[in-house]
């Protein structure tokens, strides 16, 4: 017997209809490519999204056609999100920071019909256009006539102006209802280990995720909030903020391409931002700017961090120096992305000092709707004791079942568990801590060493700006940890004393074997440290270093002692 309740489909268009009706005048503020500010509101967004459907129809877009976007966080990108999904086509957000070769692959793999691009990506469009002629019929630049770039596209690929098309379009469209399980948007993982793979979100998964994210112990956004997503709309739907903000009527402040510390500080203060979300590297840039300029964030109360482990030193600095609380979140493209979130529980609420920081540095509790487990390599479930570490698996209504073009269910095991590729512990309170990506964990003589734990210690050293640990080849132990660090401006790092800094913080056998000092670390298109590049460059570092072992303080080798060997001298630029 079915319950006797209305069976209304969960439609992405219902979010913007709700916001336009109930929060009509709530602002959407966008920083344009040229730095100027654009203002609209939810009523304006919904009306323009209907006009955009007319544009898309006039360009021949039909059900489930893919429409590619290469765009920053801004009002036109929001219009695309709602128009494309709302008309039952598929909004394919493309990460412009990927290599041109990967972007061509992605556009062809998705068979995008149209590309909507920001003018700042003109050179990129010029490069990829000849490689995507099989399906792309037109490139629409997200600007008005005066800003149209001077660009030559291949024959049969039209060059169009967004605002010209919008000016001629009717807003008479009525949002349709259809099966909530239908595809709504497509986002490719960055593919650091092979070709990128597409994750295909549905209307249902998107709404379930938005509702879960809006609960009080997760983003907990409210109509009085003004949210600034630094996380890009071109990767995992800006962590769902384009849906969760209008679903509660929170104002949106969209930074466009201006993501440096000074620009973010100004925009947050000018627009009275209360909540923001981004990856650790962006918050590190912001922190450095605040410290050097003496500026403060006047209205910001909460920052969400995720995408890679946030060093406790950053969480601590924002809290103690600026009174801003950082919440740690974990997720991935395949989980829409939010899977866990750090929020207080009765058991952890009263923690102070180091214990509180330790708790807030973990990735958090599973959100209702997400099941988690950790298993050993034989697939057996491990205990939730905060000690056992194993492969993290998840399942839930907003977790991928397969990648684009593959059989439903093919990305999961028979019980529906998706293997995340992360290694984690879960404690008795259900709080999960990522110790590594499974491909980054250092396997040293049968022991597993967590690179994240070692990186966090280096990051708490006063002279270290950024740190990465990789497993470098070792003749006896297979792999040993190698620490690669960037010093803070004007500081010098003495490898010996940096290793000494680890004393008492970790077991002796897990100390890094060596320190390499570099000017900067390579990052992926999604802002994570690119460990593959580091491994390619430094995998043999300890093997080559073998003759110098006699100089080991604390049982480690120290680069400073090898400084005579100029090719391994320490300053590398990526």
Binding site for ligand ADP (CB under 6 A): 189-190, 192, 236, 306-309, 328-333, 363, 420-422, 434, 437, 524, 526, 528
The question of whether 189 is a catalytic residue gets the answer yes
Residues in Cβ contact with 490 at an 8 Å cutoff, skipping those fewer than 6 apart: none
Q: Which is nearer to ligand ADP, 309 or 467 (CB)?
A: 309
| CB-nearer residue toward ligand ADP: 93 or 524 | 524
Cα–Cα–Cα angle for 358, 363, 366, rounded to 5 degrees: 125
Q: Over 29-66, what HEC string results?
A: EEECCCCCEEEEEHHHHHHHHHHHHHHHHHCCCCCCCE
By the 8 A CB rule, do 256 and 33 touch?
Answer: yes
Rg of the chain (C-alpha set): 24
With a CB cutoff of 8 Å and minimum separation 6, the contacts of 366 are 339, 340, 372, 394, 430, 432
Which residue among 79, 334, 455, 479 is the active-site one? 334
* Closest alpha carbon to 210 in 237, 183, 186, 180: 237
**Please, what is the minimum distance in Å from the beta carbon of residue 143 to ligand ADP?**
28
Structure tokens at 205: 């998964």
DSSP character for 537?
Answer: H
Distances 496 to 425, 440, 477 between C-alpha atoms, Å: 31, 24, 22
Nearest distance from C-beta of residue 387 to ligand ADP, angstroms: 18
CB of 130 to ligand ADP, least distance (A): 26
Task: Give the CB-nearest residue to ligand ADP.
Answer: 332
Q: Determine contact, residues 508/567, Cβ cutoff 8 Å.
A: no
Closer CB to ligand ADP, residue 86 or residue 331? 331
Question: Active site residue: 26, 69, 189, 425, which one?
Answer: 189
Which residue lies nearer to ligand ADP by CB, 56 or 218?
A: 218
The nearest distance, CB 308 to ligand ADP, in angstroms, is 5
Which is catalytic among the residues 448, 488, 533, 537?
Answer: 448
User: Smallest distance from the beta carbon of 83 to ligand ADP, in angstroms?
Assistant: 25
**DSSP 3-state assignment of 367?**
coil
Burial class (CB in 10 A: 0-12, 13-18, 19+), 280: buried
Cβ-based neighbours of 146, under 8 Å, separated by 6 or more: none
Residue closer to ligand ADP, measured from CB, 30 or 460: 460
Maximum alpha-carbon separation in the chain: 80
Paired tokens of 126 = 């010029």
Closest approach of ligand ADP to the CB of residue 512, in Å: 20
Cα 182 from Cα 567, distance rounded (Å): 56
How far is the C-alpha of 558 from the C-alpha of 432, rounded, in Å? 34
CA-to-CA separations, 312 to 213, 275, 320, 326, in angstroms, rounded? 23, 20, 12, 10
In whole angstroms, the minimum distance from the beta carbon of 235 to ligand ADP comes to 6
- CB-nearer residue toward ligand ADP: 329 or 557: 329
Question: Both tokens of residue 128?
Answer: 């990829």
Write down the least CB distance from residue 191 to ligand ADP, Å. Answer: 7
163 is catalytic: no
CA distance 552 to 139: 59
Active site residues: 189, 334, 443, 448
């Amino acid at each position: 017997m079915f319950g006797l309740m209305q069976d209304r489909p969960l439609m992405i268009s219902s979010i913007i209809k709700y916001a336009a009706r109930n929060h009509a005048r709530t602002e959407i503020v966008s920083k344009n490519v040229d730095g100027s500010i654009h203002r609209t509101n939810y009523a304006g967004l919904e009306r323009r999204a209907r006009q955009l459907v007319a544009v898309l129809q006039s360009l021949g877009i039909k059900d489930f056609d893919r429409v590619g976007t290469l765009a920053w966080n801004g009002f036109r990108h929001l219009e695309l999100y709602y128009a494309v999904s709302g008309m039952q086509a598929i909004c394919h957000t493309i990460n412009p920071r990927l290599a041109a070769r990967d972007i061509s692959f992605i556009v062809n793999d998705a068979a995008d019909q149209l590309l909507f691009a920001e003018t700042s990506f003109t050179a990129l469009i010029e490069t990829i256009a000849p490689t995507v002629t099989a399906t792309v019929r037109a490139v629409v630049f997200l600007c008005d006539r005066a800003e149209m770039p001077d660009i030559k596209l291949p024959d049969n690929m039209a060059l169009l102006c967004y605002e010209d098309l919008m000016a001629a379009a009717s807003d008479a469209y009525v949002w349709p209802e259809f099966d909530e399980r239908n595809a709504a948007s497509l986002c490719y993982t960055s593919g650091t280990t092979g070709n990128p793979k597409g994750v295909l979100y549905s209307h249902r998964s998107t709404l379930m995720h938005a509702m879960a994210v809006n609960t009080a112990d997760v983003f907990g956004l409210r109509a009085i909030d003004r949210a600034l997503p630094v996380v890009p709309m071109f990767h995992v739907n800006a962590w769902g903020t384009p849906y969760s903000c209008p679903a509660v009527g929170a104002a949106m402040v969209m930074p466009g391409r201006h993501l440096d510390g000074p620009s973010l500080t100004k925009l947050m203060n000018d627009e009275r931002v209360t909540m923001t979300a981004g990856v650790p590297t962006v918050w590190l840039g912001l922190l450095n700017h605040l410290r050097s300029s003496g500026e403060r964030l006047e209205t910001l109360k909460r920052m969400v961090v995720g995408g890679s482990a946030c060093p406790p030193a950053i969480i601590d600095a924002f809290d103690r120096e600026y009174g801003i609380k950082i919440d740690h979140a974990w997720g991935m493209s395949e989980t829409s992305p939010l899977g866990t979130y750090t929020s207080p529980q009765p058991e952890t609420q009263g923690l102070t000092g180091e214990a509180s920081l330790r708790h807030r540095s973990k990735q958090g509790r599973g959100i209702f709707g997400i099941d988690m487990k950790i298993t050993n390599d034989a697939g057996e479930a491990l205990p939730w004791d905060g000690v056992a570490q194993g492969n993290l698996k998840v399942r839930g209504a907003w977790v991928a079942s397969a990648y684009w073009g593959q059989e439903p269910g093919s990305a999961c095991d028979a019980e529906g568990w998706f293997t995340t590729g992360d290694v984690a512990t879960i404690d008795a309170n259900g709080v999960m801590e990522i110790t590594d990506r499974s491909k980054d964990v250092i396997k040293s003589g049968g022991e597993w060493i967590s690179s994240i734990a070692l990186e966090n210690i280096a990051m708490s050293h006063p002279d270290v700006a950024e740190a990465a640990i990789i497993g470098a080849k070792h003749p006896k132990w297979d792999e040993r940890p190698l620490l690669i660090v960037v010093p803070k401006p004007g500081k010098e790092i003495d490898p010996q004393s940096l290793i000494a800094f680890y004393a008492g913080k970790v077991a002796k056998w897990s100390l890094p074997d060596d320190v390499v000092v570099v000017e900067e670390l390579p990052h992926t298109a999604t802002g994570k440290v690119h460990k593959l590049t580091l491994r390619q460059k430094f995998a043999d570092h300890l093997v080559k270093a073998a003759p110098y072992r006699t100089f080991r303080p604390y049982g480690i080798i120290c680069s400073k002692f090898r400084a005579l060997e100029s090719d391994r001298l320490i300053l590398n630029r990526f």
